[in-house]
């Protein structure tokens, strides 16, 4: 089961956006929509969906956070697995770019015969790439982390840290900037990929001037089975005390995580309106989640 789930924050468009992404990518569907009532942001839709088999979550929780390219999603169109990879890439680009903006035009680059970076109509960023069919196989969609500003040059350190925190983790490829690629510093990371809990991530440094940084618009929800597991991830990842709220935390690189019990997702899907109301009221004042207290709230104890 997928343990680390990308979580997307929208103003009011979570369900609409999930439906749109399901129309762009094959083998995709919405699995659940739950409305949380009486939160500080009003009623909030929480949407669970799958894109090409990978779990995602989204929430409509008000205009608090905005997407930016510090976190994007790399989509691998592999000719060795799909004879129509290039055509499918172009079709996805056309849909994602409608009402959006190209950050890097769809074109041929030294690293790929077909690549483009686009910000869609909701502000979410996607990197579409025609992958090298001779390379090691990677998943269709991979979260990509761009280390800029104060954390530029930290991509290797951060990925090493995440590999140390999570089980079933390893380094994949790593490519470094060479001399003469200023403003990027020689030896920093042009591209690396790595797994945590058997899920692939990408990390890159960029020393160019960017007017953005990691924020809560995109976080990564870690589904935990026990309180011990919650405590472990919380203790290792949380580095910004003022960011701790409702199971959310920020790590020392500014990336946001949610440390959440797996059973909470089940309770939200299967619970009555009253049970969902009780569990919402229970978790709103929490920083780190108390699994036993959440279960008692669900049961009305």
- Give the span between the Cα atoms of 233 and 228, in whole angstroms: 9
Could you tell me which CATH class the domain 4-66+215-299 is placed in? alpha beta
**Residue in 256, 258, 259 with CA at minimum distance from that of residue 68:** 256
Predicted TM-score (pTM) of this structure? 0.95
Per residue in 255-282, pLDDT tens?
999 999 999 888 888 889 899 889 988 9
- Could you tell me what percent of the chain has a pLDDT over 90? 85
Domain ranges of the chain: 4-66+215-299
What pLDDT was estimated at residue 228? 97
**Contacts of residue 30, Cβ cutoff 8 Å, sequence gap at least 6:** 15, 18, 19, 22, 47, 48, 49
Whether the per-residue pLDDT at 301 is higher than 80: the answer is no
Mean pLDDT of 135-161: 95
pLDDT tens track for 198-221:
999 999 999 999 999 999 999 999
DSSP 1: -
- Each residue's pLDDT tens digit, 87-114: 999 999 999 999 999 999 999 999 999 9
Rounded Cα distance between 220 and 8, Å, is: 9
């Amino acid at each position: 089961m997928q343990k680390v789930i990308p979580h997307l924050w929208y103003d009011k468009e979570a369900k609409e956006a999930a439906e749109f992404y399901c129309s762009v990518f094959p083998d995709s569907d919405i699995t659940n929509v739950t409305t949380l009532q009486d939160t500080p942001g009003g009623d909030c839709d929480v949407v669970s969906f799958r894109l090409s088999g990978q779990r995602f979550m989204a929430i409509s929780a008000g205009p608090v956070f905005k997407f930016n390219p510090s976190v994007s999603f790399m989509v691998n169109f592999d000719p060795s697995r799909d004879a129509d990879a290039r055509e499918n890439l172009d079709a996805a680009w056309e849909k994602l770019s409608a009402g959006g903006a190209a950050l890097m035009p769809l074109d041929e680059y030294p690293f790929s015969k077909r690549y483009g970076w686009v910000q869609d109509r909701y502000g979410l960023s996607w990197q579409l790439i025609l992958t090298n069919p001779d390379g090691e196989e990677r998943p269709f969609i991979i979260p990509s982390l761009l280390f800029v500003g104060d954390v530029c040059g930290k991509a290797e350190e951060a990925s090493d840290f995440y590999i140390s925190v999570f089980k079933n983790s390893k380094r994949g490829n790593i490519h470094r900037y060479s001399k003469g690629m200023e403003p990027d510093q020689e030896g920093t990371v042009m591209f690396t990929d790595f797994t945590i809990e058997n899920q692939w991530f990408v990390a890159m440094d960029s020393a160019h001037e960017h007017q953005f940084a990691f924020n809560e618009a995109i976080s990564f929800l870690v589904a935990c089975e026990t309180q011990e597991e919650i405590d472990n991830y919380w203790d290792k990842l949380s580095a910004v005390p003022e960011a701790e709220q409702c199971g959310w935390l920020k790590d020392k690189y500014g990336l946001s995580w949610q440390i959440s019990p797996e059973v909470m997702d089940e309770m939200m899907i299967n619970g009555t309106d009253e049970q969902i109301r009780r569990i919402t009221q229970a978790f709103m004042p929490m920083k780190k989640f108390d699994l036993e207290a959440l279960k008692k709230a669900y049961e009305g104890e």
